[in-house]
Amino acid sequence: MSGFAERLPILVKEQLESLPVIQANASNPATDQDGCSTDMLLLDFRFLGVAEYILQGAVKSFRELLLKSSQLQSRQFARFDQGEPIDESFVTMLAYQSLFDALAADDKEQAKLLASQMGGRPVLEKKYDHPSDRILGYTLRAFVLQDIDQMQAWTPKLLAQSQKKNEAALVGFAHVFEAILADDSDRANLGFQELIEGHKRRSKGRGVFANTPHEVLCLWGIGLARLAQSHGLKVDAIPPLMPLDLIC
């Protein structure tokens, strides 16, 4: 068991104690003018969803909380588009992380809604998004919306990005997307193996997933598995990071 997993009971207790205040702030226009409280709440829901599964094996709660998290990201986009002073950094292609949440929650309607809200803000994307985040976000968006032209356009860009220095963790994603286009379950499962290996590397030391909920569950892999299944592929579980009961 990882250090993060061992600390989960204490972390959950602390999170639940602060949750009512964060929820109140997120629902109050006076305290959430820029969307910061909403952003905190969506992160809390993601954390609690993972904790529910790791500590209790609660698949239903996992999906319900990830769905709530994704819905809050949709609310950020809606408020921004209505002219509210939402912080620009909350409405970039980094929202693909919440799109993976919607997919992991197995809610196709929310996934399509969020995908339709993402993108088309080139100035903000250039200002806030790393090229890898932007490319992965647009690729995922295309596959959720089943836009074949965009699927075929962005997948090679993602593969090319994965060949660059320090971007090897993207190669599994690129190969899974290629497999979806080719309708090839065997290739997809090889891609998922690469994805999980990359995820493990990023969960060690000072990796981006270390000491986060992603350390104990590969949420992006789970979400992508559900997406691949929706395109007709058969996906194998890779426990403990991508367990069977979260992809079936």
pLDDT at 22: 98
pTM, rounded to two decimals: 0.97
Residue 238 φ/ψ, nearest 5 degrees: -135, 75
Instruction: List, for residues 181-230, the tens digit of each pLDDT value.
Output: 999 999 999 999 999 999 999 999 999 999 999 999 999 999 999 999 99
Residue 233 φ/ψ, nearest 5 degrees: -90, 155
Amino acid identity, position 58: A
Instruction: List, for residues 92-147, the tens digit of each pLDDT value.
Output: 999 999 999 999 999 999 999 999 999 999 999 999 999 999 999 999 999 999 99
Integer Cα distance of 115 and 134 in angstroms: 13
Integer Cα distance of 208 and 215 in angstroms: 9
pLDDT higher than threshold 60 for residue 1: no
**Count of other CB atoms within 10 angstroms of residue 77:** 21
**Count of other CB atoms within 10 angstroms of residue 149:** 8
Question: How many residues are recorded in the chain?
Answer: 248
Contact between residue 102 and residue 67 where contact means Cβ atoms under 8 Å apart: yes
Integer Cα distance of 245 and 212 in angstroms: 21
Its domain, for residue 34, covers 3-246
What is the count of structural domains for the chain?
1
